[in-house]
Structure 1
Amino acid sequence: MIPGPTPVPEKVLQALSKHPIGHRSKEFQELVEITTKNLQWLHQTQNDILTITGSGTAAMEAGIINTLSKGDKVICGENGKFGERWVKVAKTFGLEVIKINSEWGTALNPDEFKKILEEDKQKEIKAVILTHSETSTGVINDLKTISSYIKEHKKALSIVDCVTSLGACNVPIDEWQLDIVASGSQKGYMIPPGLSFISMSEKAWAATEESNLPKFYLDLKSYKKSLLSNSNPYTPAVNLFFALDEALKMMRDEGLENIFLRHNRHKLAMSTAMKALNLKLFADENYLSPSITAIKTGEMDAEEFRKLIKSKFDILLAGGQDHLKGKIFRVGHLGYVNDRDIITVISAISYVLLELGKITTQQAGDALMLATNCLESK
């Protein structure tokens, strides 16, 4: 129950076990064609969706280095570990970074983006880089509003980390006119790590003509060219394409709306149950991510608590990162997670809290009852 790698369905595991095929074969080209179409369905876009053998960080770095040049001015939203990462990446490539900060556990303020973008009369800002669902804190940022301000600026590109939001909540790329959207296979896609996906708008492709940052393996023009023949510029992770095909078929069968509703129910069940167990949520309740719930442990050491859950129930929870280590634990509920999994992890947490004398049996029962009510709601 961590926010990635997420549980993998049996059908997907079976697909992984197929014998590899040649990545220049007709069979593989057919596989690329169907997975690309299904990726466009999931991303709700007609944009090019490129598949890179690499993690979500590879897709984000590719988005940055293919559309920007050394010395370009960019805005980076930073309200967690991954927001921090994009600041580091931008600075590594010599970009001039304007940071918009928010305390970990709180959402980025869209008005701050609006103010800076409106004041940029010379249109010097080339991109706005931010994380949609901040995995380290359980916060989801208001991407819809922020993207509307980027759109009004006209010049700046939106470069968005949707690694733990795509496949878990609504990210209508074409409707919100998002330029560059990155995600990774081991999250909402329900397959093992190793593939990343990047959506590129026409505006983003136009920006690639002016970019002078160094790139080779992550040169997206080569991926676009090869996609014309349903291929890949380098040797891809063939068996992960088998897995991707199966996972996307399962997602299409469930339907986008049902996927989003399921993740929302799980978010509500987890957050409601944790409060009933006298645990405080780390994230602002108005901006809870549908993918992960971060929970404060107060005087309890979160790392010791995680060890107890693992030893007694063989359930792995995620810990806090950086200064949050030992202060919070995080429950992932994205991808191939069902109601039974949610009830199981709430029961395990309740059991350990009971053993530690932190709650009563009545509170444990209340938590399960409230969670069940959330899961039964439509």
Structure 2
Amino acid sequence: MRATKATPKGANPLEPLLLIPGPTPVPPAVREALAQPLIGHRGPAFVELYRRVTRRLKPLFGTEQEVLIFPGSGTGAMEAAVVNLFSPGDRVIVLVAGAFGERFAAIAEAFGLAVDRLEAPWGQVVPPERLRERLLTYPPGEVRGVFITHNETSTGALSPLEELVRVARQESGALVVVDSVSGLGGTPVAMDRLGIDCVVTASQKCLMSPPGLALLALSPSAWQATERARLPRSYWDVQEARRFGEQGETPYTPAVSLWFALDRALDLIEAEGLEQVYARHRRMGAMVRAGGRALGLEVLAPEAHASPTVTCLLLPEGLDAGAVRRALRARGVEVAGGQGALKSRAIRIAHMGAIQPEHLLQGLLALGEVLRDQGLAVSPEEAVAAAEAAQAE
């Protein structure tokens, strides 16, 4: 599809075109599922729904372990990992290269863990050898957890997950906890194969569902750790959730309509095929990076670690990200701003979940028109052509 002008508002089924990294567009079939009549959460219909949804989530996590679903956000799932696996004073290393690595560190500190931040500049990733070096500074057994942000939503950088987990396994007996809130469903996780102990995610990003479901899975070692953990937990008690889950139920009232939505979203993922879903996300990431560069914008993350689900683009000096976003919004296109120090000079474009290549062409065309209106010598059509060429590679 070659776009020649920005699509008029209302012409696209995803209008306003939502290109932010959560919540992401919800397909019509998923919206329809939300409107189903409610069912009793202690009856056989919900038991069937529970078992079907949790079973079908396992390939996305790359696990044969139980997948638990709580009412909540991705941040809630992060807190659940902390309070169920650790005790006050436990030493943990948290990899921080963006806002959400920092969030994991802040949650751990709030619950009294001894947090060692292993930092990298925003846009970069923590190299596996730096993790090795840091682990080796501690006596054997002292580090109880290693926290990894799989896909840093604030920067568009994808961590070398396999290599980082391998180092953690080689150099420590620490539990490996992975935040894949903006990765799972858009890029492989392979929890069991890699030896990850806990993966957390949420419903509103690659899973094409509304916000409101916090998902996590634990390894056998992590389940053993829940027996020793001494942090207070009630709402996020995974042992209680597992006990109820064995009967196809939840400890308290679930967000039934969101379960309907996620069930339908999994239908769509299965119909496309998981490997095809991952390939589409990789192509779309390449499209946005190529289109952004054609507009003279810098991609924050290096190509070797570029995320397949979200891209952070740096604007030229003198151009305000807020003004660019407002102009795009007036054209029916919503993108995210930068976070932290990047707030005024970066925009983030999501390419995850229900987003399709044609939506990105529309978004890039609109972005090019906005930049041209703001005085930059750019060609929106060349940005579209560059994105199309990247899609074809």
For the aligned pair, the TM-score class normalised by the smaller chain equals: over 0.9
Q: Distance in 2 between matches of 1:364 and 1:344?
A: 10
Q: Distance in 1 between matches of 2:303 and 2:389?
A: 19
1:183-204, Cα deviation, whole Å (9 max, x unpaired): 0000011000000110100000
Q: Are 2:296 and 1:283 aligned?
A: no
Q: Are 2:195 and 1:194 aligned?
A: no
Q: For residue 84 of structure 2, what is the aligned residue in structure 1?
A: 66
CA contact (8 A) 2:366 2:380 kept: no
Q: Distance in 2 between matches of 1:108 and 1:70?
A: 26
User: Structure 1: which 4+ aligned runs deviate by more than 3 Å?
Assistant: 118-121
Q: Distance in 1 between matches of 2:340 and 2:297?
A: 21
Q: Distance in 2 between matches of 1:254 and 1:173?
A: 22
Give 1:92-241 correspondences, 5 Å limit.
Answer: 92-241=110-259
Q: Distance in 2 between matches of 1:339 and 1:289?
A: 16
Q: Are 2:329 and 1:310 aligned?
A: yes
Q: For residue 16 of structure 1, what is the aligned residue in structure 2?
A: 34
CA contact (8 A) 1:113 1:149 kept: yes
Give the unaligned 5+ runs of structure 2: 1-18
Q: For residue 372 of structure 1, what is the aligned residue in structure 2?
A: 388
Q: Distance in 2 between matches of 1:279 and 1:321?
A: 17
Give the unaligned 5+ runs of structure 1: none
1:154 Cα offset (Å): 4.9
1:350 Cα offset (Å): 1.0
Taking only the aligned residue pairs, the percentage that are identical comes to 36
CA contact (8 A) 1:107 1:284 kept: no
Give the match's secondary structure for 1:165.
coil
CA contact (8 A) 1:106 1:284 kept: yes
Q: Distance in 1 between matches of 2:122 and 2:60?
A: 29
CA contact (8 A) 1:50 1:223 kept: yes
Q: For residue 26 of structure 1, what is the aligned residue in structure 2?
A: 44
Q: Which moved more, 1:241-250 or 1:348-357?
A: 348-357
1:310-344, Cα deviation, whole Å (9 max, x unpaired): 11x11111001122111101101110011110100
Q: For residue 350 of structure 1, what is the aligned residue in structure 2?
A: 368
CA contact (8 A) 2:365 2:381 kept: no
- Match for 1:302: what amino acid? A
CA contact (8 A) 1:278 1:359 kept: no
1:229 Cα offset (Å): 0.5
Q: 22, 44, 49: which is aligned to 1:4?
A: 22
Give the match's secondary structure for 1:318.
strand
Q: Distance in 1 between matches of 2:165 and 2:348?
A: 28
- Match for 1:222: what amino acid? E
Q: Distance in 2 between matches of 1:373 and 1:41?
A: 31
1:122 Cα offset (Å): 2.5
TM-score, scaled relative to structure 1: 0.97
Q: Distance in 1 between matches of 2:51 and 2:116?
A: 39
CA contact (8 A) 1:160 1:182 kept: yes
